[in-house]
Amino acid sequence: MTLNSTNTKVVVLALVTAVVIATGVLVDPVPQDQQYHQFADQRAYFAIPNVLNVATNLFFALIGFAGLYFLCIRRSLIVVDSIFAVYITFFAALAAVAPGSAYYHWMPDNQSLVWDRLPMTLAFMSFFTIILAERLSLKFARIIFLPLIIVGVLSIVYWHHSELAGNGDLRPYGLVQFLPMLLVPMILLMFDEKFTHGRAIWWFLGWYLVAKIFELLDQQVFEWLGLVSGHSLKHLGASIGCFIYLRYLQTRSIIGSENQT
């Protein structure tokens, strides 16, 4: 088994997965910090509380429904037909992020946070499955898709019930969000592209990283800019990344097909 063999790469991914999961199991339970609900921009307009944090979720709905339209009606997205349902799940989850996150930001607490995180988790798991199918193994992706969705949903259910029981534990949800975002760049680097314009996925991931930075700097950005907070810009940054991914699915082609007559 050579260093560059597919088996070696799969073993590396499996080892990283095992180490991250083991680390998550060994660390102490992490309850939801109630300060998380205290966003920097709490301005209300037209009887809408936290209006910019609520309103900026509209972009997720626009991109999610656009994706479903081009995927299911126009049939103009370049996708892997045998995992068509996974692409549907991704864009449907993206559209569902809008009402879920808007509801949470309208009334931020642990109860409403469930409906913010649930569609995001479905989007994470769907996107991860797509990357597995397009870069690593289509067969494996088809097998693991439903288990990934179930694990993602259960991570939210577990966290929610642990909070209600007074011993909140975010570790499973943290793994569901963090582990795919660690493995995806590794997969992109280790396995060959099958479609053109693959750089767009890196832009997608880059905007996701920018969005997370804005989230962490919520208060500081609001103090610097005054008009908008870091969390509102997080929504915009993540939406830009999703739009880039949608355009990627519209414009890419199978590598080699552009040279065929």
Cβ contacts of residue 14 below 8 Å, gap of 6+? none
Q: How many structural domains are present in the chain?
A: 1
Whether residue 167 is contained in a domain is answered as yes
Give the pLDDT score at 55.
97
pLDDT tens digit sequence for 38-48? 999 999 998 89
pLDDT at 258 over 90: no
Residue 84 CA to residue 131 CA, distance in Å, equals: 13
Q: Residue 138: which CATH number? A: 1.20.1070.10
Whether residue 25 is contained in a domain is answered as no
Token pair, residue 156, equals 């939210």
pLDDT tens digit sequence for 133-188? 999 999 999 999 999 999 999 999 999 999 999 999 999 999 999 999 999 999 99
pLDDT at 106 over 70: yes
Residue 186 CA to residue 192 CA, distance in Å, equals: 12
pLDDT tens digit sequence for 185-228? 999 999 999 999 999 999 999 999 999 999 999 999 999 998 99
Whether residue 36 is contained in a domain is answered as no
Mean pLDDT of the chain: 95
Residue 65 CA to residue 63 CA, distance in Å, equals: 6
Whether residue 42 is contained in a domain is answered as no
Cβ contacts of residue 179 below 8 Å, gap of 6+? 17, 20, 21
Distances (CA, A) of 26 to 78, 190, 213, 248: 42, 29, 27, 39
Range of the domain at 143: 51-256
The residue with greater pLDDT, 1 or 63, is 63
pTM: 0.94
Whether residue 144 is contained in a domain is answered as yes
Whether residue 17 is contained in a domain is answered as no
Residue 208 CA to residue 101 CA, distance in Å, equals: 16
Whether residue 61 is contained in a domain is answered as yes
Whether residue 2 is contained in a domain is answered as no
